[in-house]
Amino acid sequence: MKLHVIVPLCALFSLTQQTPSRDKCVCELTHSEKAFPHDRLSTVEDDASKCNSNITPQKTVELESLLLGLEKRLPQLEKDVSELKREDDGQLSSVLSLLVVENELLEIKQLINRLNITMLGHQRLTTNTTKELDDLRAEMQELETYDTMQVVKRQQDNQNLKRDLDQCRNGLYPTAQPTEQPHGHCPHSQFRNISGPRVYTAGEYPGSYKYGAWGRDPKPAAGKENWHWMVLLTSGNKHSNYVRFYSSLSSLIVGVSTPGNVQIHSSNPTTNTIQGPNVVLYGDALYYNCYNQDAVCRFNLTTKGVTTVQLPKGTRFNSKGNFCHLDECYAFTDLDLATDESGVWVIYTTTQDFGNIVLSKVEEPLALGQTWRTSVYKQAVTNTFMACGVLYATRYVNKDTEEIFYSFDTTTGEERFNLGIFINKMSSNIYALNYSPVDQMLHAYCDSYMVSYKILFS
């Protein structure tokens, strides 16, 4: 820096002085300002980014999901206690009910403990962060005294001016009306938007299984109304041979599985066990892509028997017709099972459809019903779900956002590519996505986290 200044000055000096006899010249540059402490600024920058990374949206949702779990748990306890009172005849039945209530109390206690720990953590974080912010502010104010040329101050003034101008300009235009959303023929009218995450939990095996699925049975057997299920791809992120149950949402969150596992087969994988993450539970049966076959398997939880239905010739399977985004395809996502108000659906693709999504209804007794062909390319989609007879497809926008961009109405055949409904993700990849018509929740399994969102109908 100094050298650059010296050379032209020297040239000028020698030119004006016209003294060729002197072969050396020295220019002195005195700098009256204090040198700017770059190291202090970079320390502040580091501290600020550390402070930022301490506070994540995950932390807020964690508390909310625990509260939601508790909220769902308490009415159940109340019901069971009143049942106990009614049955209090000194007989065996009341002893059994007492055991049920005791168990529930234990679960609630675990939930409250988790809440306590989470809350204490948050309190600590808040105190810490407030202090850190105060320190950062003081340091920045001190650094500002170096800004003798008022560069930073002018920039701030400019920014404020620009913001005021923007506000003024936006105030002149009315806010854009939301575009009309597709009609689904169902009791909830039009799909308008989606909430932020309502449940966010690492469950019983935090971080252990990247691929999986979870949810609740839309048509549960008597006594299993509050049950939640989970399937983890335990073998090579590809296969599984059991479904795990939780007596309630809060049990799933705290990771206490009372009913435990129901096994399809002792080997994994083997004929008719689970391949790929996009499975669903409906009517006390698990529907999934059968291992190494272009077929849907239905595992009856009562009989523990498996029934299969063959998909059309040309169906892509064994990781040849996956969901993808630009950087990655999700292995073994050839078949996506889905539930909505009307039952079970299967989403797949075939060679003759050139990789575009094909949608078939799965009928009872087990058979393939009506089939629809769409013009959306399966590899341009990250996942799909059904709600009210309408197929919705998502695409990857960035690690924080997924967009529900596409819909296909099975009643009218209408296709739309411009929905523009955004899902606020808690981790990069959604491996399973399914709609629960019971409570209009969308259940997602993302990089070993279980997340759910509420679908907002208008």
Summarize as ranges the residues that interact with ligand NAG (CB under 6 A): 54, 116, 120, 124-125, 128, 178, 193, 196, 283, 285, 300, 302-303
Where b means 16+ CB within 10 Å and e means fewer, 140-157 reads eeeeeeeeeeeeeeeeee
CB of 412 to ligand NAG, least distance (A): 22
Q: Which two tokens stand for residue 257?
A: 């599985």
CB of 145 to ligand NAG, least distance (A): 25
Helical pair 92-144 and 38-54, crossing angle rounded to 10 deg = 160
Q: Which two tokens stand for residue 269?
A: 């994988």
CB of 128 to ligand NAG, least distance (A): 4
Closest CB to ligand NAG among residues 107, 353: 107
Question: Within the chain, what is the greatest distance between any pair of CA atoms?
Answer: 122
CB of 449 to ligand NAG, least distance (A): 19
Strand pairing category for 260-263 and 242-246: antiparallel
Closest CB to ligand NAG among residues 154, 399: 399
> What are 349's strand-pairing partners?
357
Closest CB to ligand NAG among residues 87, 139: 139
CB under 8 Å to 458, separation ≥6 — which residues? 181, 189, 190, 192
- Measured in whole angstroms, the distance separating CA 132 from the mean position of its chain's CA atoms is 30
From the list 263, 288, 286, 264, the residue with the least C-alpha distance to 277 is 288
CB of 127 to ligand NAG, least distance (A): 8
CB of 52 to ligand NAG, least distance (A): 12
CB of 322 to ligand NAG, least distance (A): 28
Closest CB to ligand NAG among residues 199, 380: 199
Strand pairing category for 212-215 and 449-457: unpaired
Closest CB to ligand NAG among residues 26, 176: 176
Number of Cβ within a 10 Å radius of residue 118: 16
Closest CB to ligand NAG among residues 84, 194: 194
Using the structure block, give the residue that is written with the tokens 């004006």. Answer: 16
> What are 118's strand-pairing partners?
none
DSSP string computed for 139-154: HHHHHHTT-TT-HHHH
Closest CB to ligand NAG among residues 220, 255: 220
**Spatial separation of the C-alpha atoms in residues 84 and 61, rounded to whole Å:** 35
CB of 113 to ligand NAG, least distance (A): 6
Closest CB to ligand NAG among residues 85, 124: 124
Closest CB to ligand NAG among residues 257, 307: 307
CB of 124 to ligand NAG, least distance (A): 4
CB of 151 to ligand NAG, least distance (A): 31
Helical pair 57-87 and 92-144, crossing angle rounded to 10 deg = 160
Where b means 16+ CB within 10 Å and e means fewer, 234-259 reads bbebbbbbbbbbbbbbbbbbbebbee
Closest CB to ligand NAG among residues 99, 120: 120
Closest CB to ligand NAG among residues 300, 427: 300
Three-state SS for 118?
A: helix
Q: What is the CA radius of gyration of the chain?
A: 31
CB of 189 to ligand NAG, least distance (A): 15
CB of 361 to ligand NAG, least distance (A): 15
Closest CB to ligand NAG among residues 82, 128: 128
The one-character DSSP state at 175 is: P
> What are 169's strand-pairing partners?
none
**Spatial separation of the C-alpha atoms in residues 374 and 393, rounded to whole Å:** 11
Q: Which two tokens stand for residue 194?
A: 């989606």
